Amino acid sequence: MLDASPLSLSAADADAFLPPTALAVPAAADWRQTLKVGDIVSFRFPVEDLEGGPAKNRPYLLLEVEPTHAGPRITLAYGTTVHGGRNRGYEVRLSDPAVFREAGLHRPTRFIGLRRLTVSADHPGFAVCRDLGTPKIGRLAGAEFERLQAVRDRIHAEADIAADRRAERRREVAEDRARRSRAPARPFVVEVKRRRQVTSR
């Protein structure tokens, strides 16, 4: 499920992260069970690029990992190297070279919390490195991880407010229906008409 329309894909974005083999990311028997909030993964962008080519691998930031009976549900935040002034309250920016290289990137990147994608851990969009057996390319730390938590807190708070509003609206509708069902019936009068008898002459 894509929560908002994605940004346009640029060639710079597609080349925003280092090959996974360049990073010291330990292999896992089942990487799906090891993903955590703050991980950065390689994921195939779900639309064709501007030139009409196939989807490309790009960095996404893990916002949520929700356990379900069918396996983890992963919420990812879109990563882009395109500068912009919108969505600032929902962004995690990696601008310092030491920071973005530690996260598996080789260009300044911003992850946009409003551009979210929720998929199962088995989604074929995860680009698993053959050598490492995982799509994970890095992880946030320090101030950048704290910023991620602030963005998550804001998203959660807004979701709670929206849920409360929907619940209040449902209560109002239910109360209105109950009032209508309890309203007294409109009075009515039964008029009896007698049939006229026809006499023969």
- For residue 56, what pLDDT is reported? 80
- For residue 188, what pLDDT is reported? 64
- For residue 176, what pLDDT is reported? 78
CA distance 151 to 90: 5
> pTM of the full predicted structure?
0.67
Q: How many residues does the chain have?
A: 201
- Please give the chain's pLDDT, 201 residues, in tens: 434 433 444 445 545 555 544 444 444 458 888 899 999 999 986 655 544 556 788 899 999 999 888 888 999 998 888 877 666 778 899 988 988 888 889 899 999 988 889 999 989 889 988 888 899 999 998 999 999 999 988 988 888 888 888 888 888 887 778 777 776 766 666 676 777 666 665
Instruction: List phi, psi (to 5°) of 142.
Output: 60, -135
Instruction: Reply yes or no on domain 11-159 having CATH 3.80.10.10.
Output: no
- For residue 50, what pLDDT is reported? 46
The domain locations on the chain are 11-159
CA distance 139 to 63: 12
